[in-house]
């Protein structure tokens, strides 16, 4: 026969756990966010005002506010007032994380902001044509000290290499594991950063391609394109987001979206930072998008439709435009694609 004291203890523990669970569930579902000055069209001159609604008056020990995954250090209390000048476009998401008695609840809301101006449409001239390794499934390109660093993809074929742009000669190459699908690449402070696609981590090398570190992804779903502004990394993940990363801690600080006057864009792929702007390729689109890295505003579209006429295999599988490199020492812009036998130096024309 079971001891009655044990039965009472079990019943008491079960009741206590049930009570805690009820309180926790009630706590998590209690909070919501309300935009108190809701509008259909938000401009840079507006200020969004948001209140944390505490339906059951449970209270909070502290509240941490976020905008597009970025912690707002200057925000506190139950209300948020945020000026929209120079803030990201697209879906601007606000989140309040509420802490009370070792419990955590989250509430979120969002506003939508379109780019008030239509992008300019640009064309191009081919300045020079150089040979490119036709077997290279190009994922990332970047110049550094006159050398062209390239990341190539596909399982069983991925590598990171240094090439001579004028001849296409591969000077150095590091092959990756057969289970790795390499993606974008960038160089900052003499560190070469390389993404992988679905492995959810990236590599760090020195300038001679010796591996020095690896880093994990956090909120971003995959690895696609990579560039830097001299201080931060910018990473696309195949969605409509470009994430801003700390190059030392690899923390994903916030994100932007590419936003025109009509829509936002997904499948953001190769990235390059050029004179204060991000140049982005949309996967399987014959165009390069020029955007503001602070707001995501699509300022220009470089129409590259006719470039495929230079590539006999452009329509095979996904041998598409995917490679942008800017040599800032000579002010030269280069583009190529996956398994293209040519690399093009181009100049942009209106």
Torsion of CA 61, 67, 69, 70, to 10 degrees: -80
Nearest to 186 by CA among 219, 139, 137: 139
Q: Residue 191 in contact with residue 247, Cβ under 8 Å?
A: yes
Q: What is the pLDDT of residue 10?
A: 42
Q: What is the pLDDT of residue 308?
A: 81
44's enclosing H/E stretch is none
Q: What is the pLDDT of residue 12?
A: 42
Q: What is the pLDDT of residue 3?
A: 55
Indicate yes or no: pTM above 0.85. yes
Nearest to 277 by CA among 328, 214, 204, 215: 328
Q: pLDDT tens digits for the chain (350 residues)?
A: 555 444 444 444 444 444 455 666 666 778 899 999 999 889 999 999 999 999 888 888 999 999 999 999 988 889 999 999 999 999 999 999 999 888 899 999 999 999 999 999 999 999 999 999 999 999 999 999 889 999 999 999 999 999 999 998 899 999 999 999 999 999 999 999 999 999 999 999 999 999 999 999 999 989 999 999 999 999 999 999 999 999 999 999 999 999 999 999 999 999 999 999 999 999 988 899 999 999 999 999 999 888 888 887 655 667 788 999 999 989 999 999 999 999 999 999 98
Task: Quickly count: other Cβ atoms within 10 Å of residue 310's Cβ.
Answer: 14
Tokens of 208: 């001679």
Q: What is the pLDDT of residue 27?
A: 67
Distance CA 307, CA 189 (A): 33
Q: What is the pLDDT of residue 314?
A: 57
Residues 6+ apart with CB under 8 A from 16: none
Distance CA 121, CA 301 (A): 5
Q: Residue 139 in contact with residue 149, Cβ under 8 Å?
A: no
């Amino acid at each position: 026969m079971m001891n009655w004291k044990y039965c009472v203890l079990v019943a008491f523990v079960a009741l206590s756990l049930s009570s805690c669970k009820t309180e926790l569930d009630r706590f998590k579902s209690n909070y919501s966010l309300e935009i108190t000055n809701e509008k259909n069209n938000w401009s840079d001159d507006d200020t969004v005002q948001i209140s944390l609604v505490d339906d059951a008056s449970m209270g909070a020990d502290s509240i941490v506010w976020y905008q597009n995954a970025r912690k707002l250090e200057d925000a506190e209390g139950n209300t948020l007032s945020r000026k929209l000048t120079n803030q990201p476009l697209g879906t601007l998401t606000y989140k309040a994380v509420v802490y009370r008695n070792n419990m955590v609840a989250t509430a979120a809301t969002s506003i939508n902001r379109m780019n008030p101006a239509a992008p300019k449409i640009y064309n191009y001239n081919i300045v020079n044509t150089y040979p490119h390794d036709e077997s290279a499934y190009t994922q990332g390109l970047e110049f550094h000290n006159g050398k062209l660093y390239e990341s190539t993809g596909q399982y069983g074929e991925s590598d990171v290499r240094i090439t001579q742009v004028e001849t296409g000669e591969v000077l150095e190459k590091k092959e990756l594991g057969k289970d790795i699908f390499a993606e974008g690449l960038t160089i900052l402070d003499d560190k070469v950063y390389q993404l992988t696609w679905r492995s959810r981590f990236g590599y760090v090398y020195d300038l001679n391609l010796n591996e020095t570190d690896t880093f994990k992804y956090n909120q971003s779903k995959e690895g696609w394109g990579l560039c830097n502004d001299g201080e931060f990394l910018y990473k696309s993940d195949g969605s409509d987001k470009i994430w801003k990363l700390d190059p030392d801690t690899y923390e994903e600080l916030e994100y932007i979206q590419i936003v025109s006057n009509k829509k936002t864009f997904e499948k953001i792929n190769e990235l390059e930072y050029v004179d204060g702007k991000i140049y982005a390729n949309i996967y399987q689109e014959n165009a390069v998008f020029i955007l503001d890295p602070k707001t995501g505003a699509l300022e220009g579209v470089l129409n590259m439709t006719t470039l495929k006429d230079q590539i006999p295999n452009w329509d095979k599988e996904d041998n598409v435009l995917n490679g942008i490199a800017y040599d800032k020492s000579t002010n030269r812009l280069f583009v190529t694609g996956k398994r293209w036998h040519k690399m093009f130096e181009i100049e942009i024309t209106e």
